[in-house]
Structure 1
Amino acid sequence: MLAALAEIFTPLIPAIVVGGLILGFRNVIGDIKMLEEGTKTIVEVYPFWNGVYGFLWLIGEAFSTSFRLELLGQLQKKMGTTQILGIVLGITLVSPQLLNAYAVASTKAAEIPVWDFGFAQIPMIGYQAQVIPAMLAGFMLAYLEIGLRKIVPNAISMIVTPFFALVPTVLAAHVILGPIGWKIGDVIATVVYSGLTSAFSWLFAALFGFLYAPLVVTGLHHMTNAIDLQLMSQFNGTNLWPMIALSNIAQGSAVLAIIFLHKGNEKEEQVSIPATISCYLGVTEPAMFGINLKYLYPFVAAMIGSSLAAVISVSSGVMANSIGVGGLPGILSIKPQFYLIYTICILVAIVVPFVLTVVFRKYNILNKVDTAPIRTFGKHEFRKKAGNI
């Protein structure tokens, strides 16, 4: 499954990397209150940077929108079906006519627009930042097209197959598949909130720190914003956001280890170096889709490091004043009395994934695809396994 995902996502890596860097830069200038005694952001003080902040969103939004389109196009290519139908399907999931997914939580149920068919109403909700609904719809479209090709005569296939593959898929995406994705997100949000407010919060922190990165892969991590806001209103702070920032750092540190192990691979460094920077600024998708999921073992190493750092954070009572930028700048959202212990958490999130990635590679743990020379300090080492170097 991971190999198939990697093949689908690989052509999208340039867009993911550039989009991640742009969003990370916007986080720094627009969300970190570093000026006027920590009360204002760069954007709030300087009109020029306010203009830059707004202009960059044009590019960031384009990457965010086109990502779903290209994702479904690549999925159709992988399945041997029509790419343009996948792109059209993607447009129907993020169309401007739909209520943006980010606005759903703040919109009253009665105010959500619907398609009214008389006997039924279908909410007009977009699925921005959602991967699961898009992937489910993409596979449904592919299998419908493959099935129709077998039974529809070639003479009318050009007309019949696209129509009867696309229309039912779009309908299912908004009636069944999309709501399933949302429901999964709601369940995750409820579990996270309950876990963080229970007597076993340290144990939950270990699980959340370990599993947050896979949530990012699915797009369901955006559901945690609602939990953060609830925690902030109830406890005057959130202990969830610090763990999210630590997970960002851990994924970047695993990529940093890959840069060390594969030093000299200039083609890969075009992805890995920007991806590391993006992670440390709080955007992990370039690192995960571009490097860590490709090799798998750095992804797991980062999950373990994130889990350990999360346990230390929650057990020490670390709280953030607000949510905003993640990664290394995330420390600026931490309450000042927790700066020292959170710095230790950051060091854990840097060192543990780096070391584990090197160890996993050296002993071929969770590694089936990385056959590059193993780089150690000052030399290269080759290991043989199953007849391959």
Structure 2
Amino acid sequence: MGKYEKDTKDLLKAIGGTENISAVTHCATRMRFVLNDPKKANEAQIEDIPSVKGMFTNAGQFQVIIGNDVSVFYNEFVKVSGVTGVSKEAAKSAAKQNQNPVQRAITVLAEIFTPLLPAIIVGGLILGFRNILEAVPMGWLDGQTIVEASTFWSGVNGFLWLPGEAIFHFLPVGITWSIARKMGATEILGIVLGITLVSPQLLNAYAVNGTTAAEIAKNWTWDFGFFTVDKIGYQAQVIPAMLAGFLLVYLERFFRKYIPEAVSMIFVPFFSLIPTILAAHLILGPIGWKIGTAISAVVNAGLTSSFSWLFGGIFGALYSPLVITGLHHTTLAIDSQLIADFGSTNLWPMICLSNIAQGASVLAIVFAHRGNKKEEQVSIPSVISAWLGVTEPAMFGINLKYTYPFIAAMIGSGIAGLFITLFKVRALSIGVGGLPGILAVRPQDYLIFVIGMIIAIAVPFILTLTFRRIGLFNKNDRVEEDDVPANESIQKTGATVDLFAPIAGRVQPLSSAKDPVFAEGMMGQGVVIEPSEGKLYAPFDGQISLLFPTKHAIGLVSTEGAEVLIHIGIDTVQLDGNYFTSHMKQGDSVKKGQLLMEFDVAAIKAAGYETQTPIIVTNATDFQVDPLIEDAVVTSNEKILRAKKL
């Protein structure tokens, strides 16, 4: 038996079985599924699988976070499911059926920059280290920098410029290669095209502003007799490289379609590459330069204007939601352009603080839920990951699950972003996010950035605990006894909650459920009711923690902390809300016997669906759940379950 055999079987069942899988692959930490019907994925059941650390949908893919052991998990999943894995590119291609044009454009941008990230991160660390060596006066060296005081470190500093220059000055080579690779063109042509944008024969982009037009016309032009082309390099320029890369791809596709295969090896590369190089220097480069400069100028102006504090606060707060949508990939291009135009960027420091804030909110959850060993397997590594610049485990594994920590992190990140923007903190490069991000910051901004880091840790941590305590933005995480005064809602060992029948009908044991997910207790312990009428009442005093958009299921939390799921019918999610009428909304407080929902029993049955309704205590590991009625007809005034806090 494989290490993950049970978990892979449970995951296969939870995502809707083999027939619901269009494609599957994996990346460094996640299983990536393209599902034929994403609605069939049972997220509550998936979340309960021990090796699953979170899940989310992005770029048309249903992604399940496994962690560093994902390759082992993937191999066992393929064996269990019989589904042949596909390449990441094939999975992404299949996923595009679920994307709109904007999402597709963002996906393309992300796929261009993702292969470049390792180099960009290493380059950022190198440049950050060089900042410390050559730009920070050291008191213990009588005010000299390390480079000024040490021949060895001066040599190290000079040597490190070699990879630093290769990564950032020659970034267009990586971009044109990545575009060719991503879009199926000839990769070596992408590399050659990139080199022609940064060749030493060209006037370096960093020297253009210091060179007069007359000097450029005299020394830096190609003269074709009836027209001239400036010999301008595009070092570190993003948009010119992207425009040239896309032109190369589409020209190659065009000529491959019309040039005979016998001579395609000769003429396709020639007719694709040469016109692209000419267009890049004659048209695309100048246009792209102007576009990139305009974008970076607008962003820089916003962050250096008298309203910079507002811009910084908004960007700091909204960066985390951008990560969810995938739009955060656009900031890489903007950051690179800002560095090319101004020698530094004011966006990257705020991104680092956003990473730190997400980790701080998870740290508060670790503190609040201390002793929850299962959750700590996700939460503690998530804190470390976020503070090293990777926030997906923190956001999708913890913060979005509870909602209020995510909002607390947004607020803390916004305040920290506002603060550092007021003091005009800038980064000299793009590097590792989170705490190591300080290495990319200008040395003169270190102190202010450290204060910003403290804000990004303290504010989310305090707000997370506060929101949890007062119930703000908190739908499903009740406060423990030690956290609140005696007169507030509490959970305590020995606390008992009685569940009254939410629906009139025949109560039967949970093992008689017609859905094996419920019958086998995978979701928790409880009973099932075959409804005799289509009215759902609150089984106790509490709060609606979850209301599905399809209205077929509702989650409630009692004042004692018992979490209950009421699932009206079997597979009724496919009705998409038809025949269901909700009288409440998520987050509402309810009293026992209050009418929550009405549903048309006859219409649901006529549509071919069972109306048998499981009533499940989903946090059954925290409560001892005992049925009070085994098999009988009940009304909404009768107790059917008792849950005692362990």
Q: TM-score with structure 1 length normalisation? A: 0.65
What percentage of aligned pairs have identical amino acids?
47
Contact preservation (8 Å) 1:95, 1:126? yes
CA contact (8 A) 2:236 2:340 kept: no
Whether the aligned pair in 2 keeps the contact of 1:246 and 1:306 (CA below 8 Å) is: no
1:62 equivalent to 2:166? Answer yes
Q: 1:318 aligns with which of 423, 426, 430?
A: 423
- Rounded Cα–Cα distance in structure 2 between residues aligned with 1:94 and 1:186: 18
Q: Give 1:54 deviation, angstroms.
A: 0.3
CA distance in 2: counterparts of 1:115 and 1:89, whole angstroms? 18
Alpha carbons 2:179, 2:245 under 8 Å: kept: yes
Tell me the CA shift for residue 186 of structure 1: 3.2
Q: Is the 8 A contact 1:313 1:342 kept in 2?
A: yes
**Structure with greater contact order relative to length (CA < 8 Å, sep ≥ 6):** 1
Are the equivalent residues in 2 in contact too, given 1:133–1:178 (CA < 8 A)?
Answer: yes
Q: Name the structure 1 match of 2:263.
A: 156
> 1:90-169 to 2 correspondence within 5 Å?
90-112=194-216, 113-169=220-276
Could you tell me whether the CA contact under 8 Å between 1:152 and 1:161 is conserved in 2? yes
Structure 1: any 5+ residue segments left out of the alignment?
229-240, 280-286, 364-385
Structure with greater strand share of residues:
2
CA contact (8 A) 1:76 1:82 kept: yes
**Pairwise CA distance, 1:166:** 0.7
Is 2:134–2:147's contact at 8 Å kept on the other side of the alignment?
yes
Residue 342 of structure 2: aligned partner: 225
Aligned positions of 1:201-350 closer than 5 A: 201-206=308-313, 214-218=330-334, 219-223=336-340, 225=342, 243-244=346-347, 246-247=349-350, 249-250=352-353, 252-253=355-356, 307-314=414-421, 318=423, 327-328=437-438, 330=441, 332-334=443-445, 343-350=450-457
Structure 1: distance between partners of 2:243 and 2:429? 30
Query: What is the rounded CA distance, in whole Å, between the counterparts of 1:91 and 1:258 in structure 2?
Result: 45
What SS does the aligned partner of 1:119 have? Answer: coil
SS in structure 1 at match of 2:229: strand
CA contact 1:35–1:42 (8 Å) conserved in 2? no
Q: What secondary structure sits across from 1:104 in the alignment?
A: helix
Which structure features the higher share of helix residues? 1
- The one-letter code of the counterpart of 1:200 is F
Superimposed CA distance per residue, residues 326-369 of structure 1 (whole angstroms, 9 cap, x where no aligned partner): 9436474149xxx5x7654333345678999xx9xx99xxxxxx
* Number of the residue aligned with 1:75: 179
Retained in 2: the 8 A contact 1:247–1:303? no
Q: Tell me: CA distance 1:306–1:178, structure 2 relative to 1, closer, same or farther (3 Å).
A: farther
Give the residue type in structure 1 aligned to 2:189. Answer: L
Runs of at least 5 residues in structure 2 that lack an aligned partner in the other structure: 1-104, 320-327, 367-374, 401-405, 431-436, 465-472, 477-544, 546-572, 575-646
Counterpart Cα distance in 2 of 1:189 and 1:15: 22
- Preserved CA contact (<8 Å) 1:12 1:70: yes
Measured in 1, the distance between the counterparts of 2:429 and 2:342 equals: 12
Deviation per CA, 1:138-193: give whole Å up to 9, x if none: 11111111111111122222222111111111111112222122212332454356
Q: CA 1:65/1:345 → structure 2, altered by over 3 Å: closer, same or farther?
A: closer
- Flag the 1:91–1:33 CA change in 2: closer, same or farther, 3 A: same
2:145 to 23, 41, 48: 41
**2-side partners of 1:11 and 1:198: how far apart?**
35
**Contact 2:171 / 2:236 at 8 angstroms: preserved in 1?**
no
1:225 maps to a residue whose letter is F
* Secondary structure of 2:157's aligned partner: helix
CA offset digits 1:182-218 (Å, max 9, x no partner): 2123324543565466553433444676689844324
Which structure has the bigger radius of gyration?
Answer: 2
Aligned residues of 1:251 and 1:353 also touching (Cα < 8 A): no
User: Which residue type is aligned with residue 328 of structure 1?
Assistant: I
Q: CA deviation at 1:126?
A: 1.6
CA distance, structure 2, for counterparts of residue 259 and residue 60 of structure 1: 34
> Structure 1 pair 213/7, CA: closer, same or farther in 2 (3 Å)?
closer
Is the 8 Å Cα contact of residues 72 and 138 (structure 1) preserved in structure 2? yes
Is 1:179 the equivalent of 2:286?
yes
**TM-score under structure 2 length normalisation:** 0.42
Q: Which string of whole-angstrom CA distances, capped at 9 and with x for unpartnered residues, describes residues 20-39 of structure 1?
A: 32222112212222346884
Query: What's the C-alpha RMSD, in Å, of the aligned pairs?
Result: 4.7
Contact kept, 8 Å, 1:15 with 1:67, in 2: the verdict is no
- Aligned equivalents of 1:303, 1:123: Cα separation in 2: 46
1:153 & 1:31 partners in 2: Cα distance?
59
Partners of 2:147 and 2:154 within 8 A in 1? yes
